[in-house]
Amino acid sequence: MKFKSFLAKPFASYVSKQVKRSMQQAVADQDNLFKSLLKTVATTQFGQDHHLESVNTPSEFRQAVPIRDYEQLKPWIEQVKEGKHNILWKGKPIYFAKTSGTTSGVKYIPITKESIPNHINTARNALLCYMSESGNSAFADGNMIFLSGSPELERVGGVPTGRLSGIVNHHIPSYLRKNQLPTYETNCIDDWETKLDKIVQETMNRNMTLISGIPPWMQMYFDRLQELSGKKISELFPDFSVMVHGGVNFEPYRARLFESIGREVATIETFPASEGFFAFQDSQNAEGLLLNTNSGIWFEFVPAAEIFSENQTRLGLHEVKVGENYALVINSNAGLWSYNLGDTVKFVSLDPYRIIVSGRIKHFISAFGEHVIGEEVEYSLMKAATEAGVHITEFTVAPLISQDKGKSYHEWFVEFGSEPDNMEAFTSLVNNNLRAKNIYYDDLIKGNILLPLRITRVKKNGFIDYMKSVGKLGGQNKVPRLSNDRKLAEALGPWTE
């Protein structure tokens, strides 16, 4: 056993015990966090604007502070960007995480001295919980890819500003830096394809043991390695044993990623965002991700169907139920208050509190009242793919609305890694799976209001070429699973067959 892995084992055991302890006191931790956060925010400009000095309970807080998205919180963030102190949190943030919003353009998410440990320690805890449970510590001695955006930072209002992954890059512990790839210089490259080529050059002949990134990026990386070497990834990296992923549901990518590797490896799922690191997979033997209940974030949960209504039901952790679809709302020591993240989650367990990410509140199809969500389309396609023995590279779904009754349908744009022998039978499988999953969709098919779904093939690398054409190739950018209009469908036209 080598030095790093030898030292890591007792630390992994210690952290794992801490995490298990937190599981047992999640509701109490959330209550204590609320009180602590309220005490600080009451002294800020935001607190004064909402009269939080006289608020004592979650119910009173909800009366005083409405749920907001980034655009609605922007007036206070603009004051922080101007260099003002004590606006959303005490003092000034130590960073702005710069991220592209789908409706807000560029967003500037504050990161404070108090909130940065949430991003760093949660990533660490995910790895150490895996190490403690599995006994696999050998990966700590090999080379690891922590793909990040450029670590070069600009200043906005005197605050260092950049992509979250680039910011986190500055906080990777020194004992991991010698193992970290790609190099700092490579991470600073802006053009994604140039950067990918450089990453391949730097890692091709190295002992890679852990690879971390969003699944579409990892598949591109594996494809490029295979093109140049003619080998499976497990042949290039025989000690590769851990894959850390997040950002999108892993299941649509699982089969093809493992085929590229040549064998299965352990996977650790995470749920990070610029706004916070919300959950992580703490066990290889349990469904879902452990909610991060003691890391500076007080959570609220709104039934997804109510998120855009005037009178939302805002639930605390102790009030949630298994299987319900909730919009995730956060309050944090980064200075985000009743902030609608845009993600939806479902609890798969209440002891401990584990979730799955079920989709985005704006990513659904309800052109006819069916309200089909991301979780349902992913399930329907992947179940059919497993039954038919095919691999899916990428996909998205949009409605096609006809003026003639009974002529409308859902159009699925699918890039296949390997195609079904019978496309008509495969399409029928997907359609039947969706009907079984969504009763409203089933009713519309039965009532002849919708035709069964249709699949449009996307050419090989078509989604990559599309993302390149709109300047969103690489990094944390991902293709929306669902649209309620035809904008993406029409943009994909040049890459369909």
Q: pTM of this prediction?
A: 0.84
Q: How many Å apart are CA 76 and CA 484, to the nearest integer?
A: 31
Per-residue pLDDT of the chain (497 residues; tens, 9 = 90+): 454 665 688 889 999 999 999 999 999 999 999 999 999 999 999 999 999 999 999 999 999 999 999 999 999 999 999 999 999 999 999 999 998 754 456 899 999 999 999 999 999 999 999 999 999 988 888 899 877 778 889 999 999 999 898 898 888 776 667 788 888 899 888 788 888 899 999 999 998 999 998 888 889 899 999 999 999 999 999 999 999 998 878 888 898 999 999 999 999 999 999 999 999 999 999 999 999 999 999 999 999 888 888 889 999 999 999 999 999 999 999 999 999 999 999 999 999 999 999 888 877 787 777 878 888 999 999 999 999 999 999 999 999 988 776 689 999 999 999 999 999 999 999 999 999 999 889 988 988 889 999 999 999 999 989 988 888 776 667 888 888 788 899 999 999 98
Number of residues that this document lists for the chain: 497
What pLDDT was estimated at residue 178?
Answer: 76
What pLDDT was estimated at residue 250?
Answer: 86
User: Do residues 363 and 374 touch, judged by C-beta distance below 8 A?
Assistant: yes
In the chain, what are the domain boundaries?
1-360, 364-495
What pLDDT was estimated at residue 207?
Answer: 87
What pLDDT was estimated at residue 475?
Answer: 62
Q: How many Å apart are CA 395 and CA 413, to the nearest integer?
A: 5
The answer to whether 1-360 and 364-495 have equal CATH topology is no
> Which residues neighbour 67 within 8 Å (Cβ) at sequence distance 6 or greater?
300, 302, 307, 312, 314, 329, 338, 339, 340
Rg value, the chain, Cα: 23
Interior/surface letters 434-458, b for 16+ CB within 10 angstroms, e for the rest? bbebbeebbebbeeeebbebebbbb
- CATH 3.40.50.12780 given to domain 1-360: yes
What pLDDT was estimated at residue 305?
Answer: 82
What pLDDT was estimated at residue 359?
Answer: 83
What's at 455, amino acid-wise?
Answer: I
What pLDDT was estimated at residue 287?
Answer: 94
What's at 69, amino acid-wise?
Answer: D
39 φ/ψ sector (left φ>0, alpha ψ -120 to 50, else beta): alpha
Query: Residue 171 to residues 99, 112, 119: CA-CA distances in angstroms?
Result: 19, 14, 10
* DSSP bridge partners of 297: 332
In CATH terms, 364-495 corresponds, of 3.30.200, 1.20.1300, 3.30.300, 3.40.50, to 3.30.300
Angle formed at CA 275 by CA 272 and CA 277, multiple of 5 degrees: 30
What pLDDT was estimated at residue 333?
Answer: 98
